[in-house]
Amino acid sequence: MRLMKKIGAAALAMMLVLSCLPALAEDAPVQPELAARVKDIIEVDGLQFKDLNDNGELDPYEDWRLTAEERAENLLSMMDASQKAAQMVHLTLVTKKDSWFSSDNVGFALVYEYIFEMEEPDEEDEDEEEDEDEDTPVITSHAMNAAVKTNEIQELSESSELGIPVLFSMDTEAGAAFVKSATFLPDEINLGAANNEELTAKYYQVLKEELEAIGVRMALSPDADLITDPRWGRNQECYSEDTDVVQKLITVAVQTLQNGSELTADSVMACVKHFPGAGAQQNGVDGSPLTISEDSIDLHLAGFRAAIDAGVAAVMPYGYSTVPYLGGDAVENSADQSAAVMTDLLRGQMGYTGIIQTDWGLNFTGATNAGADILGGAGVRSTRQLVDEVAEERLTDACRRILIAKFRMGLFENPYVDETKAEESLGSEAHRAVAREAAAASFTLVKYENAEALTGKQFVVAGELADDVRCLNSGWTAKEPVEIEGTSILSALRAKAGEENVTYIADAASVPADLSGVTAVVVVGEKSGTHDPAWGAATLEFPEEQVELINALDKAGANVVAVVVMNRAYVLSPVTEAADTVLLAYRPGVTMGAEAIADCLFGETAITGRLPFQIPATMDQVSAQREDLPKDIENPLYEYGFGIDAEGFGR
């Protein structure tokens, strides 16, 4: 039987009593809510504390009345080098082994596909449900499943020798998208196109609430990278090629996630990436040397400076690119293995004192000796190597930052979440409404002719991407063949118009000879991806089959409305030549992106988005621009910030 020892009622009563005492008691300690599943709760001075090391006494690190720094120093004095190294481990949770948490007591876990969806019970399992212990939760949703699994791991961590809680993280470029029923939000590029601080705050509040509901207290986002090369496939994860926009939105993101400039019990730790700015990839190829130079370094650092000023708790240097401009070990080592990047630039020149979280890599001792604190992709086997090859003083320095953060976030007092309430947050109607609003605010018209709202009409929907759900976000979710929940653009338009009013055409060969007077919504662009774009980094030109489809629709006399799902700035010339209207949707989100597009084309929402990057007219222009400078395409097809306003499509 799992024992949940809670003192919520006692804590509430204590708070009420304290609130009624005279003014002279204003500084009296306020009992926080404690939650324990394994260790005892002890009483000292009429207050309750968790006996995390199970010695029957109140040790300073267990005393929530002390500062986070005081508690960390006491705990460090009890830890050997292996325990300190284990706190630096940030493993990837594809599967779970109990000992990683109960005996090894690792510090961090990236909640990958392990928590994505609940297992469907077979008939034998259903027959045995009546025999289950009354304390065993009956999992009723994907959200509840995620909360149950993180709680189970926290219970294992609590059972460890010192009871140090684990801190769960998630790649959050598309929202809390490693849980099937979460709200898959638009990618960051959509926020840049909307460029609205209030909307950005609502967006990150949704992310914060959904992560907290399942016990994930670290977001591996937002991205402060400046867009400077249109070929880079990760532009979809960035806000803009304008430094002012990046600084403004990154500040909102950090302070919304963390609920202010300092970590508290109501914070989700933000991890800003990819220092010192990964947008300047050589030839746009991800993982190539960064071409940052003397006249561009400050532009790339601008977003990180803003994040640091906003109080960001963690910064991630890029794990796949060297930074030759900085010299020293940055010439040969990736940024998250480089002392020139982390110790000299980030800590020395920029004065950053928070946590440095590496990207996912392999050389963990090199990263630690260069100045990293948390080691992405490390495992329990890494601890021995760290102990053997890193001075304990360096391990202590890193572990201190980690422990202080965990104390400030209240994890030692209560790392658990209410499993029954998780589904109230994930994918809630309120959160879906924000996702829909964020998508709609980002849509950008670059050509607008002969437009007619689709209301009451029969029309054509064309293109393979029209029936592709995954293309509505970048690839930061469970990978295929795992199914994700969402609506394709085709399905959303059918739902709104009535299936009998929509004809689907997949390719040019299926286009009728005469479509005069018919509106054809053709969806073009790239499939979902992460580091490597579907078309590769060498081209931004539409594949032949997509161009042929648009041309065939145009030749048949259709009123062609091109909806472009895009992760980066494509050469739009053939699309704008053949289409009457061109609407850029970027990556509008699996959960409500298609519905937002349908709303837009039915004339129900205003169109106000602005280009977050220049649109090139040719690949020659792309080749001629510098990879490290923004807005340097000469005579682009469309300039940065361009967009045609419309009160509603077709009106």
Whether the pLDDT of residue 1 is over 80: the answer is no
The span from the CA of 408 to the CA of 17, in Å, is: 25
Neighbours of 264 (CB within 10 A): 11
At 137, is the pLDDT very low, low, confident or very high (cuts 50, 70, 90)? confident
Residue type at position 116: F
CA distances from 256 to 267, 393, 428, 524 (A): 9, 34, 19, 34
pLDDT per residue as tens digits for the range 326-377: 999 999 999 999 999 999 999 999 999 999 999 998 899 999 999 999 999 9
Lowest mean pLDDT: which of 61-65, 128-132, 486-490, 624-628? Answer: 128-132
Stretch 52-75: mean pLDDT: 98
pLDDT per residue as tens digits for the range 581-625: 999 999 999 999 999 999 999 999 999 999 999 999 999 999 999
3-state SS assignment for residue 160: coil
3-state SS assignment for residue 214: coil
Stretch 558-579: mean pLDDT: 98
Mean pLDDT across the chain, nearest whole number?
94
pLDDT > 90 in the chain, percent: 92
pLDDT at 651: 85
Q: First-to-last CA distance in the chain? A: 64
pLDDT at 454: 97
Output the DSSP codes for 472-484. Answer: GS-S-SPPTTS--
Closest CA to 529 of 16, 7, 173, 1: 173
- C-alpha angle 322-330-247 in degrees, rounded to nearest 5: 70
Q: Which domains does the chain have, with CATH numbers?
A: 5-62 (no CATH), 432-624 (3.40.50.1700)
pLDDT at 93: 95
Radius of gyration of the chain (CA): 26
pLDDT per residue as tens digits for the range 385-428: 999 999 999 999 999 999 999 999 999 999 999 999 999 999 99
Q: Please, are residues 379 and 398 in contact by the beta-carbon 8 Å criterion? A: no
pLDDT at 132: 52
Q: Which residues pair with 223 in a beta bridge?
A: 273
Q: Please, are residues 277 and 235 in contact by the beta-carbon 8 Å criterion? A: no
pLDDT at 28: 86
C-alpha 468 chain-centroid distance: 22
pLDDT at 113: 87
pLDDT at 25: 46
The span from the CA of 583 to the CA of 472, in Å, is: 14
pLDDT at 420: 92
pLDDT at 135: 64
pTM: 0.94
Could you tell me the two tokens for 176? 């809390």
